[in-house]
Amino acid sequence: MKKSTETRSKILTAVILFSIFFITYSCKKSSDMNPSPGSNTPGGTGGPGTSAVTIQGMAFSPATLTVAVNTTVTWTNKDAITHTVTSDSGMFDSGNIAAGSKFSYTFTTAGTFSYHCKIHPTMVATIVVGSTTPSNMPSTPTSPSTPGY
């Protein structure tokens, strides 16, 4: 008697497993047919108006970064220890950036801005912010990118 019960439950399990597999497979198939909205994810690196500094090995990299005015610079702490991004002139101060965390600051004025890490005074670097409009820009200041231009 015990054996037949076992066989029945085995068959039942097999049927359930097959149903789950079939449902999962058909769901997958139908979702594949839909145009996936996530396929156009922007790369995120080197976009206009943004720039990145990596904090790694107790140093800022690059040590000197040149950007245009209104560029947002993002520092990423890839070290296993806390660092800070602190302007020598007090213009900006990240506070503690924990390991793996980020800090962003937008430079709205041209100039040369030295900064350091409060915790490790040997860590120093510079952001050079250029003039607002590059010389090769057309005279129209704000032209939205026209499709097919």
Binding site for Cu ion (CB under 5 A): 83, 117, 119-120, 123
Rounded least distance, CB 45 to Cu ion, Å: 24
Rounded least distance, CB 32 to Cu ion, Å: 47
Q: Between residues 52 and 69, which has the closer beta carbon with respect to Cu ion?
A: 52
Backbone dihedral region for residue 100 (phi beyond 0: left; psi -120 to 50: alpha; all else: beta): left
Contact 123, 81 (CB under 8 A): no
Rounded least distance, CB 35 to Cu ion, Å: 46
Q: Between residues 69 and 119, which has the closer beta carbon with respect to Cu ion?
A: 119
The whole-angstrom separation of Cα 126 and Cα 141 is 28
Contact 74, 51 (CB under 8 A): yes
Rounded least distance, CB 61 to Cu ion, Å: 13
The whole-angstrom separation of Cα 20 and Cα 91 is 60
Q: Which H or E element spans position 11?
A: helix 2-33
Q: Between residues 52 and 119, which has the closer beta carbon with respect to Cu ion?
A: 119
Q: Between residues 83 and 113, which has the closer beta carbon with respect to Cu ion?
A: 83
Q: Which residues contact 100 (CB under 8 A, 6 or more apart)?
A: 77, 78
